[in-house]
Amino acid sequence: MRLSYRIGTAALLIVAIILIKRHLDLVQDDSRVQSGWSFNGVSGGEGGGPGLSEPVASDKNQNNNNGANTPAAKGGFSMVGDGKNGPSADHKNNEDDDGIALGSRPMYETTPIIVPNDRVIVMAKLAAEDTAWVSNDLADWRNFIYTVDDINAAKHTPKNKGRESLAYLQYIVDHYDDLPSTIVFMHSHRDGFPVAWHTDTMVYSNVDSIRALQTDFVQRNGYANLRCQPSPGCPDEIRPFRDPPQQGQTTEHVYADAWKQLFNNTDVPEVVAVACCSQFAVSRDQVLKRPLSDYQWFYEWVLTTPLNDDLARHVMEYTWHIIFGQDPVYCPDTYQCYEDVYGTPYL
């Protein structure tokens, strides 16, 4: 019993000695630490005594009535120079006003300011749809989700017209002057067949496709269709002047007139083609190649066209790629599309 007491007492003494030594080491280290703050360009540990030095106005500032109220005259921080004479016109070449050599001041590395989440997902939804998956599964993207059938929703379109078209255009019109670098326009379904049949991943997942999206390609090309499978849409979905007209192709029948109204010209393409289905990504630079007035015009067309909801949506479906700078026929090779858009030829 006595032996165990002795062993326990010895162990406690050893622990106490170790803790006391660590404390003394920390106190000694702290006494050597110099302040990293600088006031009037003087570091707290460089001759100004420990801690922050008192702001000292230079003799020049004290004698210059015109500068009596400037930050430098009050001993404040000097943030920038006048653009001509360097950071501060009041400083000497080799010394500051208190005689401290400029070379003795600490130099700090700087890092560029990066705008967080400089990309956004824009979406249209019905009030009954649950789109919480966007924030949960794609948290590194900002999102703007417009409810198209409830004008009391926080973000909404004035009416449910053209399916997703009004929401897409409303985002551009409302944010033309503060667009992020990459904008993805996509549907409100997360995954699964048949609702997401047109999404090019093994489980038809919009989450997987956005996680794989190569935003550097979007920046280079300006536009990227999220669907690479050519059908439906390629190679010649819309032939406005087909004679005789194709049975059941109602979008083709109205496309020429819609083009003239949208673009205010008669240069209607002979063939318009793009893989469906109005899910795509664009760069800010590409959007800004058109003036705001163009997007306002497209928005008003969708809002007021006598075409029904479905026809208006399909006209826009086969026009988005043209609006964003691509040729009327945009049907890249499937495997090259996967490589460019998703970083692998086999998605």
Sorted by where each starts, the structural domains of the chain and their CATH numbers stand as 119-235+275-342 (3.90.550)
What is the pLDDT at residue 110? 66
Cβ 121 vs Cβ 207: under 8 Å: no
Stated pTM of the model: 0.67
42 phi/psi in degrees, rounded to 5:
-105, 125
CB 58 within 8 A of CB 43: no
Phi, psi of 123 (to 5 degrees): -150, 150
Token pair listed for 258: 């819609």
Q: What is the pLDDT of residue 7?
A: 74
Distant-in-sequence, close-in-space partners of 160: CB < 8 Å, separation ≥ 6: 148, 149, 309
Question: What is the reported pLDDT for 105?
Answer: 58
Q: In which element (H, E) is residue 292 found?
A: helix 292-304
What's the full length of the chain, in residues? 347
Q: Nearest to residue 36, comparing CAs of 48, 52, 56, 55? A: 52
CB 299 within 8 A of CB 166: yes
CA atoms within 13 A on the CB side of 340: 19
Cα–Cα distance measured from residue 219 to residue 285, given in angstroms and rounded to the nearest whole number: 8
Does residue 212 contact residue 347 with C-beta atoms inside 8 Å? yes
Q: What is the mean pLDDT of each run of 10 residues along the chain (347 residues)?
A: 67 75 58 38 38 36 40 35 39 45 59 74 96 95 96 96 96 97 95 77 88 97 96 95 85 96 97 96 98 98 96 97 98 96 84
Residue 124: strand pairing partners? 146
Give the residue among 183, 209, 213 at the shortest CA–CA distance from 118.
Answer: 183
Q: Is 310 helix (H, G, I), strand (E, B) or coil?
A: helix
